[in-house]
Copies of this chain bind each other. A is one copy, B any other.
Amino acid sequence: MMNSLKEIADTIAKYNQVVICGHIDPDGDCLGSMLALGTALKKQGKKVRLVLERTLPDNLSPLEEDWDYCYTDDFVFEPEDQLLIVLDSGALDRIPELPPHKLPIINIDHHMSNTFFGDYNYVDERAAAAGEIVYLLLEEMGIEIDQKIGYYIAVSIISDTGCFRYSNTNPRILRLMADLLEMGIDTASIYKDFLASHPLRKIRLRGLVYSRMKTAFDGRVAWVVIDQEMLKEAGATVDDTGSISSELRDIKGVEVGVSILEREPGLIQLGLRSNDYVPVNEVAMIFGGGGHLRAAGARVRGDLEEISKKVLQKIGEYLE
């Protein structure tokens, strides 16, 4: 069942001790919206705990010291805990594993695929970021958005819109960000800290990737094989390969960008991004994966070279 924002606000108002969590592998939207809501509720005198599965990934390290986070490996519910708020998570199996509990759950999300797993649900798929909904919720609750809360909202929004580059950018979020700028929030430095601060090893890996990248089908496909050897040479990890297929897609004339990553010997991960007409989710499905029309992926067991050949061949069928 879908609740109104007012029902969500009224429900939260009733409880004094709240546990908040997001999804596993937290991103800037997830953690930013957790911190924004957590800080706001704390300001109201509530006792708030933020739960994570593990220490923060590298790119979120600027938020490391901002909260005394709880981690699932030693997390226990306290008898006084009254409410669990889940942010930015499409389904319960996407959240960190928690001990059994009987707390009511509030589910606040912007994923179209949300399963409405909460006792209370507010899912706004037009929102570009969970932080956008938290902003509206705080307004509804009459909690003033101060500098600190505004900063977390901005982190959340800038992360999930790629600093307004992605097509999820909407008028509401731009106006909201204008208000935050007027409060003195420095969006350019948030962009820098969270989206444009790359570990050296990632740039070294780009050197190898762009040098070894190949094109096929008259330049309509740009593809690269990243094997263990290459990761080792750059001192890079699987985490550093993240956006390679979209980077290749951004080459002029390219319709499909493909990264073929050897995660471990015999386990191949495909990253597929297209621009206009190749439904890469269909290609991914052939290899047991899935995803969106223009962004998809798969994990396959087998021989690196054989799989590469087959992937190129399958993509070629869509280019004819």
Contacts and interface: CB of A to CB of B under 8 A. Distances in A.
A138 interface: no
A154 to B, nearest CB: 12
A171 interface: yes
How many copies, total? 2
Contacts of A235: none
B198 A250 contact: yes
A215 interface: yes
A216 to B, nearest CB: 12
A267 interface: no
A232 to B, nearest CB: 15
B179 A200 contact: no
Contacts of A212: 207
B213 A203 contact: yes
A116 interface: no
Contacts of A210: 203-204, 206-207, 210
Interface string A242-268: 000001101111000000000000000
Interface centre among A167, A174, A179 (most CB of B within 10 A): A174
A1 B94 CA distance: 62
Contacts of A215: 200
Nearest to A167: B188
A207 B197 contact: no
A252 B199 contact: yes
Contact of A197 (B172, B204, B222, B252): B252
Given A203-B210, A206-B210, A174 B163 contact: no
A169 interface: yes
A182 B178 contact: no
B182 A171 contact: yes
A203 B275 CA distance: 18
A164 B187 contact: yes
14 contacts: A163-B163, A165-B191, A166-B188, A171-B178, A171-B181, A174-B175, A175-B178, A197-B252, A198-B251, A199-B251, A200-B251, A203-B248, A207-B207, A207-B211
Give me the 5 closest cross-chain CB pairs, A-B, nearest first.
A207-B210, A207-B211, A167-B188, A171-B178, A174-B178
Interface of A: 163-167, 169-172, 174-175, 177-179, 181-182, 186-189, 191-192, 196-200, 203-204, 206-213, 215, 219, 222, 247-248, 250-253, 275
